[in-house]
């Protein structure tokens, strides 16, 4: 074993001991041993045992552990620590700006065990509440985590979007005589994009030369397909074809495999056929244009044949903000700022739903503060004209599935959003017990982020979607489509099944700042994939229709 490897082991051991809050004296001695060994002019493996113990800065117990490593290649104590540390906590050591002390706070006090959860906590301003974490630290941690995730190679749609737009612009500028049409997952508005792809008439060697000069690494190159990787680890792919095949290739690469197979079985598919536009492919088949975002489940073809394609929701159909946080709990803007920003966006109402009392980490509202907030809402409503703020709460669903206040307090809210935030590690039966109890509570109007998933970071707890949907129908509960680009929860693949049964969906931004309102768009993009219409989306209701909805909800109480 080299000195470097031994020093690394000691250094990691001392960090892990600090994270676990164990013997800080020993942890210090291991870290100084690491420092000393790293600087030694001779390799320890070349020295006899007594010479090792004679080195300055190496004591009895570190000396023994050096011998152990030289003999066995391992450091048993370190292995023990690695064993009892969650993988996500070990990963945090890769994040610039996160030392053992901060990691210990994150793990033991915030109860966060993965980087994805930590990133989300930064977005919710949760770190700032703890000793040693200011706004600037939180910001730096967020940036380092994003960088680290980027290095793993998969991205949220939202992270890829501006890149796709800029890259398309640059390519078209550089090759003005060639077409560059975005395709693939990005064109389908998938929630996760692994590779940005284009269909192009540009010769493959020309693009290759251009991208190589821009420091892209060539990954694969065939006669007609090229993939490259950027310095930031973003993958780009190019389908190169003739003008003649351009739109067929575009169609071909912007639908799911199941859709494409069904299409080829149903309609004549001549690979040599020339189409002037993608629309012409649909005209030739005698059916209306199916947008790429809907080319997932092949049953959409039947709907197109029957001329029953859904008129999917648009961003402009959002008329109110439902589910948002203010400075009363963990948001970054005051209630008044949140209201004014919604007014400026031309929206008709704001449902303010700060965290409930059990969410101590998010400064959840105790009963007195609930009433104080209601007073402020009344005052603001009296001066905001037609615009209206509704009193809501994002109530934690407690361990037994009950909500977070007694009934007489719940009765004071215009509506209650029920979400699970604590004890996320559970089996399906436990999760279902909590969720179903919450859905059956007559004060629950909306079920928040159903599975608790964080895309690319944390799987949600396991749930039985069909049973939840049935319970929501039976209890007249709306299912949220949380529009945060890392959540997008309920998964869009379940939305049409819910709507068919009669469930109302609500595209909610879960905004923790004014900027958070813009996330509605990402909810709309995946809702389009599900064929959701504005009629089936609560946040598209006019203020009048929304109030009628509230009256109906209150009749449950
Ligand atoms: Zn929440
Ligand atoms: Zn929330």
DSSP structure string for 168-199? HHHHHHH-TTS-EEEEHHHHTT-SEESEEEEE
Sheet of strand 217-221: strand arrangement: 180-183, 195-200, 235-240, 225-229, 217-221
Cα(35) to centroid(ligand 2), Å: 45
Cα(383) to centroid(ligand 1), Å: 29
pLDDT for the residue 131: 84
**From start to end of 38-186, where are the E strands?**
155-156, 180-183
pLDDT tens, position by position, 290-337: 999 999 999 999 999 999 999 999 999 999 999 999 999 999 999 999
Q: Is the peptide bond before 39 cis (omega within 30 degrees of 0)?
A: no
pLDDT for the residue 318: 98
pLDDT for the residue 231: 84
Cα(256) to centroid(ligand 1), Å: 32
Residues 6+ apart with CB under 8 A from 378: none
pLDDT for the residue 154: 86
pLDDT for the residue 55: 83
User: Strands 235-240, 225-229: parallel, antiparallel or unpaired by DSSP?
Assistant: antiparallel
**pLDDT < 50 stretches in the chain:** none
Cα(543) to centroid(ligand 1), Å: 24
Residues 6+ apart with CB under 8 A from 429: none
φ/ψ of 370, rounded to 5, equals -60, -50
Q: 444: closest CA among 540, 555, 365, 553?
A: 553
The residues placing their C-beta within 5 Å of ligand 2, an ion, are 394, 510
User: Strands 235-240, 320-324: parallel, antiparallel or unpaired by DSSP?
Assistant: unpaired
Cα(418) to centroid(ligand 2), Å: 10
Ligand nearest to the Cα of 512, by number: 2
Work out the number of other CB atoms within 10 angstroms of the CB of residue 96.
Answer: 11
pLDDT tens, position by position, 46-65: 988 888 888 888 888 899 99
The residues placing their C-beta within 5 Å of ligand 1, an ion, are 419
Work out the number of other CB atoms within 10 angstroms of the CB of residue 396.
Answer: 24
pLDDT for the residue 459: 82
| pTM across the whole model | 0.82
Cα(444) to centroid(ligand 1), Å: 14
CA of residue 233 relative to chain centroid, distance: 19
CA atoms within 13 A on the CB side of 376: 14
pLDDT for the residue 19: 95
Q: Could you tell me if 362 and 323 are in contact, meaning their C-beta atoms sit under 8 angstroms apart?
A: no
**From start to end of 412-498, where are the E strands?**
415-419, 444-447, 478-482
Phi-psi region of 80 (alpha: psi -120 to 50; beta: other; left: phi over 0): alpha
Cα(381) to centroid(ligand 2), Å: 22
- Nearest 5°: CA angle at 179, between 237 and 163? 45
Element (H, E) at 247: helix 246-253
Cα(97) to centroid(ligand 1), Å: 27
Q: Could you tell me if 142 and 133 are in contact, meaning their C-beta atoms sit under 8 angstroms apart?
A: no
- Nearest 5°: CA angle at 264, between 263 and 269? 120
Ligand nearest to the Cα of 418, by number: 1
Cα(506) to centroid(ligand 2), Å: 13
What's the start-to-end Cα distance of the chain, in Å?
70
Cα(493) to centroid(ligand 1), Å: 21
**Distance (Å, whole) CA 117 – CA 121:** 6
**Distance (Å, whole) CA 141 – CA 42:** 38
Ligand nearest to the Cα of 454, by number: 1
Q: 392: closest CA among 183, 266, 538?
A: 538
Return the SS3 of 33.
helix
**Distance (Å, whole) CA 180 – CA 480:** 37
Cα(147) to centroid(ligand 1), Å: 25
Ligand nearest to the Cα of 509, by number: 2
What are the structure tokens assigned to 229, written together?
């990787």
Cα(90) to centroid(ligand 1), Å: 26
**Distance (Å, whole) CA 538 – CA 80:** 52
């Amino acid at each position: 074993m080299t000195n470097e490897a031994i020093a690394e082991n000691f250094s990691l051991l001392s960090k892990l001991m600090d994270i676990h809050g164990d013997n800080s004296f020993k942890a210090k001695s291991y870290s100084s041993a690491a420092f000393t060994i790293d600087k030694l002019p001779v390799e320890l493996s070349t020295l006899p045992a007594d010479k090792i113990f004679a080195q300055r800065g190496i004591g009895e117990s570190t000396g023994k552990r050096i011998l152990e490593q030289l003999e066995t290649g391992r450091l048993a104590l370190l292995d023990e620590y690695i064993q009892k540390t969650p993988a996500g906590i070990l990963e945090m050591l890769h994040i610039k700006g996160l030392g053992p002390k901060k990691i210990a706070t994150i793990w033991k006090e915030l109860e966060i065990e993965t980087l994805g959860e930590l990133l989300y906590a930064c977005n919710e301003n949760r770190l700032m509440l703890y000793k040693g974490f200011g706004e600037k630290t939180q910001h730096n941690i967020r940036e380092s985590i994003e960088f680290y995730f980027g290095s793993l190679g998969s991205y949220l749609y939202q992270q890829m979007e501006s890149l796709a737009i800029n890259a398309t612009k640059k390519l078209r500028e550089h090759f003005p005589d060639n077409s560059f049409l975005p395709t693939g997952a990005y064109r389908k508005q998938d929630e996760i994009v692994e590779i940005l792809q284009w269909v192009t008439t540009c010769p493959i060697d020309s693009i290759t030369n251009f991208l190589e000069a821009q420091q892209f690494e060539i990954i694969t190159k065939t006669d007609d397909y090229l993939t490259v990787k950027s310095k930031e680890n973003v993958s780009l792919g190019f389908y190169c074809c003739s003008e003649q095949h351009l739109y067929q290739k575009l169609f071909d690469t912007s639908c799911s495999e199941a859709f494409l197979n069904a299409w080829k079985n149903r309609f004549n598919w001549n690979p040599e056929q020339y189409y002037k536009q993608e629309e012409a492919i649909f005209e030739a088949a005698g059916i209306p244009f199916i947008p790429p975002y809907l080319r997932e489940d092949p049953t959409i073809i039947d709907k197109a044949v029957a001329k029953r394609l859904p008129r999917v929701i648009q961003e402009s159909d959002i008329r109110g903000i439902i589910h948002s946080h203010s400075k009363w709990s963990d948001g970054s803007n005051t209630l008044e700022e949140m209201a004014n920003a919604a007014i400026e966006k031309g929206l008709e109402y704001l449902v303010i739903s700060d965290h409930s009392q059990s969410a101590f980490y998010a400064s959840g509202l105790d009963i007195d503060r609930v009433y104080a907030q209601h007073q402020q809402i009344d005052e603001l409503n009296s001066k905001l004209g037609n615009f209206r703020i509704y009193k809501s709460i994002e109530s934690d669903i407690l361990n037994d599935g009950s909500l977070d206040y007694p009934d007489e307090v719940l009765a004071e809210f215009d509506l209650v959003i029920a979400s699970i935030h604590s004890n996320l590690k559970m089996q399906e039966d436990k999760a279902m017990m909590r969720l179903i109890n919450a859905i059956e509570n007559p004060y629950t109007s909306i079920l928040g982020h159903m599975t608790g998933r964080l895309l690319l970071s944390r799987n949600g707890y396991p749930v039985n979607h069909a049973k939840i949907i049935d319970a929501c129908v039976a209890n007249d509960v709306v299912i949220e489509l949380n529009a945060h680009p890392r959540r997008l929860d309920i998964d869009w693949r379940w939305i049409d099944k819910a709507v068919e049964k009669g469930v109302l969906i609500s595209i909610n931004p879960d905004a923790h700042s004014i900027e958070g309102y813009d996330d509605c768009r990402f909810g709309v993009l995946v809702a389009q994939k599900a064929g959701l219409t504005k009629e089936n989306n609560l946040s598209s209701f006019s203020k009048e229709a929304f109030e009628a909805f509230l009256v109906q909800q209150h009749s449950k109480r």
